[in-house]
Amino acid sequence: MSFIKQTSFSVDYAPASVTKWRSSHSGLQLTYINQPSPMVNGYFAVATEIANNSGCPHTLEHLVFMGSKRYPYKGLLDLLGNRLFSSTNAWTSVDQTVYTLTSAGWHGFRSLLPVYLDHLLNPTLTEDACLTEVYHIDGEGKEKGVVFSEMQGIENQNWFVTYLKMQQKLYPAQSGYSSETGGLMSELRTLTNDSIREFHKLMYRPDNLCVIITGSIDEAELLETMEAFDAQLPALSSTPNPRPFVDSPASHIEPLTESQVVKVDFPDKDESMGELLISWIGPPAGDSLINVAVDTAGAYFSDSPISILNKQLVEVENPSATDIDYTTDDYLRTTMSFTFNGVPTEKLDSLDKHIKSILLEHSDPAVFDLAYMKQILKNQRLKFISSTEKSPSLFSNIAISEFIYGNPDGSDLSKWIKDLKEYDVLDNWTADQWCALIRQYFCENHSITILGYPSAKLNREIKAADKQRSREILEEYGPSGLAQLQVRLDEASAKNDTPIPDELITSFAKPDPSKIEFINTNSYLGGTWKNVVDLSKNAYVEDSQLSQRIREEKLEGSAPFMHFEEFKSQFTTINIVMSSTAIRDSRLLSYMSIVEELFTMSVIKDGQYLPYNDVISQLNDDLIEFQVDNGYENQFLELINIKVKFEASKYEQAISWLKCITQNIVFEPSRVKVIVEKLINSLSDKKRNSELMMYSSKFRNIFNDQSLRRAQDPIQTEGFFKSLLEKLYKGEFEPIRRDLEDLTKSLFTLENMKIIVVGNIKDLNHPVKSWQAFVDSYGSGVVPRPFSELPRSYRFKSKLGQACSKQAFLVISPAADSTHFMSHTPMPTDYFDRDQFAIALTSEFLATVEGPFWRGIRGTGLAYGASIRRNMETGLLGFCIYRGSDAKQAWQVAKDIVESYANGKLKVEELAIENAVATMVNELANGVENCWDAASYKIIDNLFKRRGPHYDKHFLQQIKQITPDDVVASLKKYFVPLFSADKSMIFTSIPPEKEEEFTMFFSKQGYEINIERIEVDMQDDDNNSDFSSEDDDSEESEEEEEEEEEEEEKMLLKDENSDLDFGKQHTNGQDHHHQSDAEIRRNNEVLKPMGDNVLKRTSNDI
C-alpha cells in the first residue's frame, strides 16, 4: 500500500474527523474530512507560483477541462459529471489553483475521480484549445477568448485596480505574491501555449497535488481508487522537488522597512467617492495563536457599528467611509488589510493618518477596551463553530493552506483544525498583551496604503485606447487577414468540438439516487395553526416527547403561528416573517432601508433608555447574528424577516430582544441622519456595478409602487433619501419620525407574524411559553393570517411587467468593459402547473455545462456565461448573458440554438435529456447538503410554497417522464418567445461605445428602445435616473457607473434564480474561473483559527 497515513483525529467542536495520507510512491497527498452530508466535495489543490502577469495559472485552469491524453475530448469531465450526479468547477488565486468536484453521493464521485485527476496531470494542451479558450481575434476584428473575456470584465474595476497596486507595492517584483495570476489583458494577448505547457510541467506534479475530500464516503473504497490511480504515476524523484513558495527565497517576505502611501486612478465618471486599502505583512502562517489574535484585533477595529474604526469614521455624521472590511491573505506570512469603501475623494488624502492615529491610540492599555475585545473573541469563536455546521469549505480551505504551507509530515493539520485552544489562551490575555500585539503588527509594522481615486479622464482615455486598438487591428489584418483569422478559428473550434462517443459516456454506469443519504430534520407545530397552515402539506411529528412538550405548552391570550424545525446543532435561529402588504401606505415602503437598521438603534429596555451603542454591545453578548432583511432564505422578497441566531441557552434573551426591536425602538434624528448619509454615499459604488444597475432597471420597471423590491431599489430611492437628508439638516424630523413609527406599527403586529424556530430545539427551556411576554405586549383577540395570503412577487407587477412585450431598457455604463443582458417572457406561477416540469428540464438541457449554450456562447468567447433562469414567484422565464464580450452575437447564437431545436433542425437527444435529469438530482442534493439547508428547503417547500412533503420526489418522477418531444414543445411555447419582441422584454447594461450598435440591432428585432443614463453625483442637484425613449433625441450625457456595496447587491440579486426547484443555485454554465484575491476577499469570507479563509466562488458567477 503506497498511501501512508500521516495523521488522523476527531474535531473537538464539530461532528467531523480528519485523516491524511501521503503516497510513498508519487508524493501525492490525500486528505479526507468525514462530515455527514449527502454531498461529496472534492478539492484538488495545486500550489501554483509565478512571478509575472502572464496568466499561466489561470489559462491552464481552463485548458485542463479541454481533455486529457487518455480522454482527449473537450467537456468530457462535465458531460460525465452531468451523468454522474456531479458538477465541476475551479478557481485560481495567487498561490493556488483548485479544481472542485461536487457529487450527490459517493458512487458518482468515485467513478469520476480518476478521470478528473488524469485531466490535471495529463492534459492535452493543444494549440487549438489555447486559441479558443485564451485569446483570439475573430473575423470581424474583435478580441475574444474565454479567459480574455473574463479578465476584460474585471481589469478596470476599482477593487481590482487598488488590490493589484497593493500587491505590486507590498511584494517585490520577483515574488509570486506580486503577480496577477488571472493574466492582464496585455499579457494574455501574447501568451503562448508553449509557456503554458512549461508551467504545467513545472507545477502539476503528483508531489505538488493534494486531493481533499469532504462528506460521507466509503474510506476503504477511496483508498482502493487512489491506490489504483497512484500506481500509474511516475515514481517520486530521489531528489526532493522544491515546494512552491515554501522553497522560493523570493516568497519569504519580511515585513516592510518603510511605509508608503500610493495614489492610483480607476476609470469612473463619478469622481465623488473613492476607496482606501491599507495592508501590512504580518505573522508567519504557522503561528496559529498570533494569527487568531491578529484576526480578532482586526474585528475589534471593524467588525460591527460599535467597532473602533466604525464608531469614529462610519457611524458618524459626514462619514469618512460607508463601510470597512478587514481581510487577510494566508500566505507564508499573513497579509492583513483594511478596505474603506465609499470614501469622499476630498477625504482620501488625510484618511490614512487618521486611521493610523486611531490604531495607535488603541495600542495604549489606558484606552484599549478589554471587555469589548473579550466579547469579540467570544463571537469570533461562535461564528467559526457555526460556519463548520453550514459548509465543508471551512475545513477544506484549511486543508489547502496546510498542503501549501504546512509541515510535510502533516502534523500542522491537527494543530490548525482539531481544537480551538487559541481562543482559550487569548481569553486570558491582558490589555497589555493585546496592545503589544496591536503595536507590533498595526502600528510599528510598516504598511502600504493605496488611495483609489475615480478618474473621468482615465475613463475617457481607456475608451479611446480601446477604439484605437480596434482600428489598428482592422488596419493590420485587412479583410483578407481577418478572413484567414476566422478560418483558423473555425478550424480550431471544429477540432475542439470533436464529438464524444456516446458509448464512452454510457460506459460509466449511472448512480442509484436511492443510495444518496439525505439529511432529515423534524417539524413541530406550536401556537395557533388552525386556518394558518395546511396540515396536509406538512409532515409534523406528533408522537415524540418533544412534540408532546411543545403541544402541551399553551400561551395565554392570543398566540401567533409557531413552527419548530429541529436537528442536532449548537445553535438556534428565530425568524419572524411578515408580509409587506401590512404597510398600507406604499409611500412608507421607501423607509424600509432605514428599518433594516433597527438593530443599530436605541431602544427602551426594561423601562430604561438604552443608546444604540449599548444596544449593539448587549446584542453581541446574547446573539451571534441579528438582522432585518427582505425575504426568507433569499426568496420571497416581498416579505420582511427579522432573524436572530444564538446559543440555545440564550433563547429567552433572544425573544426579549425581538420584543425590544419590534416595539420599543427610539427613532432619533442623529442616528437616522447617519444611516441616510451612508445610504447616499454608497450610491457611487452601486452605480459603478453595471450588473447591479441592470437589475435596478428591471426592478423599477417590472414592479409597481406597492412592491417592496421597487421601493428599496437604490436608484428609485435616491431622490427620496437626499430629500430626507435635507429635512434632517433643517431639523424637520417629526414628520420622518411619524412615518417610521407608522410603518413599524403597521408591520409589527401579531397577526402579521409567522414565527419559525430552527436548529437546536431540544435544549430550549419552554419552546412556546418563553414567548408569553412577547405575546402579551400585543394585546388579545389576534387572529394570525394564513400562509396563503403571503404576497408573491408576480402580484406586484407594473403594467409594463404584466405586458412583458416589446420594451428594451439599455443602461449605459461608462466604466464597463463587458455587457450584462437579460430577456424575459412570462411563465407559469402555479407550482403545480404541468408545464413547469418541462420548463425546468429544458432550462437544464440548454444551459448545462457543455450544453448548447455553453458550447455556442462561452466556448466561442462571446461571453463568460449564459444561463436560463426560472422564477415562478415573478412568473418570468429569463435568458441571461454574464460578462459578454459580444453580447449581441451571443443573443443571436442563443436564438438560433433555441429555434433550431424547436423547428427540428437540431435533434434533442435522449442521452442529453438523461444527463439533464441527472444534473437536477445533483442540484437537489446540493441544495440540502447540511442540516441548515435541509431545514430551510423543507420550510420553504411546505410552508411558503405549500407543495407538501416529499415534493422533490414528485418533481424528479415528473421530469423523468419528459420526452424529447416534450422538450421541443416547451421550447416552442416558452423559449422561442424569449427572443421575440412581441412576447419578451429586455434589460441590459452596456459600455457607451455599444449604445448605437445595440439600439440599431434590437430596434430591427422589433423592440422599443429605452435609454437609461444614471446621473453621477458631480453636483448637489436632483440625481434621479433619466429614462428616455430612443426617439426623444435626448441630449443627456452618458452618466452611470458600475460597482456595488456588497449587501445591497445581495438584496438586488439574491432572488433572481430562486425558483430552482430545490435549494441552492447551481453554476448553470459559469464555472472554471479565475478570481483575483481582491475579488475573493469581497465574497464569502469565512473565519478560521489561523486567519481569514475564503471560499473562492463568487455570487456573481452563480
41-86 pLDDT, tens per residue?
A: 999 999 999 999 999 999 999 999 999 999 999 999 999 999 999 9
Mean pLDDT of 405-420: 96
Contact (CB, 8 A) for 413 and 399: yes
What would the pLDDT profile of 717-736 be if each residue is shown by its tens digit?
Answer: 999 999 999 999 999 999 99
Count helices and strands in the chain by DSSP H and E runs = 41, 33
Distance CA 97, CA 47 (A): 6
**Sheet containing 333-344, strands listed edge to edge, beginning at the edge strand earlier in sequence:** 260-267, 447-455, 273-284, 333-344, 323-330
- The answer to which of 44-58, 743-757, 1031-1045 has the lowest mean pLDDT is 1031-1045
Helix (H) or strand (E) holding 190: none
Distance CA 483, CA 479 (A): 6
Q: How far is CA 549 from CA 542, 768, 773, 1008, in A?
A: 10, 9, 19, 62
What would the pLDDT profile of 545-560 be if each residue is shown by its tens digit?
Answer: 999 999 889 888 888 9
Nearest one of 666, 668, 618, 623 to 642, comparing CA atoms: 623
Distance CA 993, CA 620 (A): 50
Residue-level pLDDT at 1027: 34
CB-based contacts of 990, cutoff 8 Å, min separation 6: 690, 810, 811, 812, 813, 816, 819, 887, 998
C-beta neighbour count of 316 within 10 angstroms:
15
Nearest one of 1096, 1102, 1093 to 1076, comparing CA atoms: 1096
- The answer to which of 55-64, 420-429, 500-509, 1027-1036 has the lowest mean pLDDT is 1027-1036
Instruction: Judge whether residue 106 has pLDDT over 70.
Output: yes
Residue-level pLDDT at 1090: 28
> What are the b/e assignments for 846-856, b being 16+ CB within 10 Å?
bbbbbbbbbbb
Predicted confidence band of residue 392 (pLDDT cuts 50, 70, 90): confident
Instruction: Judge whether residue 485 has pLDDT over 70.
Output: yes
Predicted confidence band of residue 1016 (pLDDT cuts 50, 70, 90): low
Q: According to CATH, what is the number of the domain 807-1076? A: 3.30.830.10
What would the pLDDT profile of 868-881 be if each residue is shown by its tens digit?
Answer: 999 999 999 999 99
CATH architecture of 253-455+1083-1096: 2-Layer Sandwich (3.30)
The sign one gets for the Cα dihedral 1032, 1034, 1038, 1042 is negative
CATH architecture of 522-791: 2-Layer Sandwich (3.30)
Nearest one of 281, 280, 283, 279 to 291, comparing CA atoms: 283
Mean pLDDT of 764-784: 89
What would the pLDDT profile of 630-678 be if each residue is shown by its tens digit?
Answer: 999 989 999 999 999 999 999 999 999 999 999 999 999 999 999 999 9
What would the pLDDT profile of 980-1009 be if each residue is shown by its tens digit?
Answer: 999 999 999 999 989 999 999 999 999 999
Residues in the chain: 1102
Q: What is the 3-state secondary structure (H, E, C) of 125-156?
A: CCHHHHHHHCCEECCCCCEECHHHHHHHCCCC
Residue-level pLDDT at 1017: 56
What would the pLDDT profile of 925-969 be if each residue is shown by its tens digit?
Answer: 888 899 999 999 999 999 999 988 888 888 988 999 999 999 999
Common-topology check for domains 253-455+1083-1096 and 522-791 = yes
Alpha carbon 332 to its chain's center: 27
Provide the percentage of residues in the chain whose pLDDT is more than 90.
80
Contact (CB, 8 A) for 634 and 1054: yes
Instruction: Judge whether residue 1038 has pLDDT over 80.
Output: no
What would the pLDDT profile of 265-312 be if each residue is shown by its tens digit?
Answer: 999 989 999 999 999 999 999 999 999 999 999 999 999 999 999 999
Residue-level pLDDT at 1053: 42
Mean pLDDT of 179-208: 97
Cell of 812: 449605459
Alpha carbon 544 to its chain's center: 39
Residue-level pLDDT at 660: 96
Instruction: Judge whether residue 1089 has pLDDT over 50.
Output: no
Residue-level pLDDT at 852: 95
Residue-level pLDDT at 194: 98
Cell of 901: 431545436
What would the pLDDT profile of 92-105 be if each residue is shown by its tens digit?
Answer: 999 999 999 999 99
Residue-level pLDDT at 864: 87
Contact (CB, 8 A) for 797 and 1000: no
The domain locations on the chain are 253-455+1083-1096, 522-791, 807-1076
Alpha carbon 913 to its chain's center: 29
Provide the percentage of residues in the chain whose pLDDT is more than 70.
92
Mean pLDDT of 1051-1063: 38
Q: How far is CA 623 from CA 327, 565, 655, in A?
A: 23, 19, 11
Predicted confidence band of residue 1070 (pLDDT cuts 50, 70, 90): very low
What average pLDDT is seen over the chain? Answer: 90
Instruction: Judge whether residue 738 has pLDDT over 60.
Output: yes
What would the pLDDT profile of 817-850 be if each residue is shown by its tens digit?
Answer: 889 999 999 999 999 899 999 999 999 999 998 8
Cell of 13: 467542536
Provide Rg for the chain, Cα atoms: 28
Query: Strand, coil or helix: what is 286?
Result: coil
